[in-house]
Amino acid sequence: MYTLGIETSCDDTSCAVVYSGKKVLSNITSSSLKYHKRYQGIIPEIASRAHLENIELVLSCALKKSRVDASRIDLIAFTYKPGLIGSLLVGVNFAKSLGYALKKPFIGVDHVEAHMYPVFFQGNLPKFPFIGLVISGGHTSLFLVKDFNLYKNISQTRDDAAGEAFDKVGKILNLGFPGGPIIEKLARRGDAGSIRFSCAGPRDSMDFSFSGIKTAVLYYVRRNSDKKINIKDIAASFQQAVVDELLRKIVLCCLKYKIKRVVVGGGVASNKYLRRRFKNELYTRNIDLYLSERQYCVDNAAMIAGLGYQLFNKGISSSIAIEAQP
């Protein structure tokens, strides 16, 4: 069964063809990131216009690369929430029209839940239930996942998401946008033990909080404005504190729910330092780690097609009345 995936929740216009929820035949993405860089953040209006301009071309490239003609597509899966409303509207309406014209069933998929799907493209599949961690620019959430359609949200961030914290610290340090990959690179040559940053979230819950550490970095930079600060040390110390906190909460969560399987996805999960620490530290605690492949950590339509296929197999589909939800 061939599923066409369509993802337009933020700045990436992505289309993919996935065979039976497992084999990614194509995954084509056009990003409008270069138009947002000068504003150091995603400008919703620019993103939705770019989706409108690019979506047809991205679709035809994805079909061509997969060598699957549109008439052979069995299901259309698309992101309908959450995201920038203008961006979602383009993808949702495009997908619905396509499904209607081709007389194919379609299904709306939750983008955050889909970030946990890419591990199912790999050989070693996690068994249900598992603990899922999504770390992206918009979300930092832990889930108890009992099946493809059974997610219990255990915790989320009370303020900034992990990726957002990377981006804001990048802005404070004048590094450019998005900050995540740049901070990762600088941190490689920094001393993570040189500055003590912490992002311990609220004590009374499993929720995350990353706005405090961003402010701590800002104050550190201001306090030392007359000295020559070492940006690499700041990057390494900040990155280490974020990873410490994510690991702390995962372990707490595994203990609380007595589950020793963790699935991780989302843009921040492409960070190599984080991947190394997660692998080492969860291994020593006997927790099985399923990490999304780096290419599927950032926004992509393959994960939407994959999850859409699994939901459709459970008898779930959407009607033409489905609407985008921010």
List residues near ligand KG4 by CB under 6 A.
Answer: 10, 136-138, 163-164, 166-167, 178-181, 184, 266-268, 270-271, 298-299
Residue 180 contact partner, candidates Zn ion, ligand KG4, none, CB within 5 to 8 A by sort of partner? ligand KG4
**Interface stretch with Zn ion, choices 66-74, 165-173, 223-231, 295-303 (CB under 5 A):** 295-303
Nearest distance from residue 146's CB to ligand KG4, in Å? Answer: 23
Q: Measured from the CB atom, is 43 or 70 closer to ligand KG4? A: 43
Nearest distance from residue 101's CB to ligand KG4, in Å? Answer: 29
Number of other residues whose CB lies within 10 A of the CB of residue 277: 17
Task: In whole angstroms, give the CA distance from residue 115 to residue 288.
Answer: 18
For the CA atoms of 300, 133, 87, 166, the dihedral, rounded to the nearest 10 degrees, stands at -100
Give yes or no for a contact between 37 and 176, defined as CB atoms under 8 angstroms apart: yes
Nearest distance from residue 107's CB to ligand KG4, in Å? Answer: 19
Nearest distance from residue 266's CB to Zn ion, in Å? Answer: 6
Helix (H, G, I), strand (E, B) or coil at 131: strand
Nearest distance from residue 300's CB to ligand KG4, in Å? Answer: 8
Q: Measured from the CB atom, is 282 or 301 closer to Zn ion? A: 301
Asked if 270 interacts with Zn ion (CB under 5 A), we say no
Helix (H, G, I), strand (E, B) or coil at 304: helix
Pick the closest to residue 215 from 231, 246, 238, 244 (CA basis).
238
From residue 21 to residue 40, the character string flagging contacts with Zn ion as x (rule: CB under 5 A) and all else as - is --------------------
**Interface stretch with Zn ion, choices 22-30, 141-149, 213-221, 297-305 (CB under 5 A):** 297-305
Residue 178 contact partner, candidates Zn ion, ligand KG4, none, CB within 5 to 8 A by sort of partner? ligand KG4
Residue 271 contact partner, candidates Zn ion, ligand KG4, none, CB within 5 to 8 A by sort of partner? ligand KG4
Sheet with 75-81, strands from edge to edge, namely 23-31, 12-19, 2-7, 75-81, 106-110
Q: Which two tokens stand for residue 80?
A: 């309908």
Task: In whole angstroms, give the CA distance from residue 296 to residue 302.
Answer: 8
The residue type found at 171 is K
**Interface stretch with Zn ion, choices 121-129, 270-278, 279-287, 291-299 (CB under 5 A):** 291-299
Among 13, 14, 87, 136, binds Zn ion (CB under 5 A): 136
Q: Measured from the CB atom, is 26 or 136 closer to Zn ion? A: 136
Angle at which helix 179-187 crosses helix 231-257, to 10 degrees, equals: 110
**Count of chain residues binding Zn ion (CB under 5 A):** 2
Task: In whole angstroms, give the CA distance from residue 207 to residue 167.
Answer: 20
| Strand 23-31, strand 75-81: pairing | unpaired
Nearest distance from residue 202's CB to ligand KG4, in Å? Answer: 22
Nearest distance from residue 265's CB to ligand KG4, in Å? Answer: 8
Q: Give the angle subtended at the CA of 202 by the CAs of 198 and 204, to the nearest 5°.
A: 140
For the CA atoms of 138, 141, 144, 147, the dihedral, rounded to the nearest 10 degrees, stands at 10
- Centroid of chain to Cα 322: 23
Asked if 299 interacts with Zn ion (CB under 5 A), we say yes
Q: Measured from the CB atom, is 99 or 308 closer to ligand KG4? A: 308
Rule CB under 5 A: which residues touch Zn ion?
Answer: 136, 299
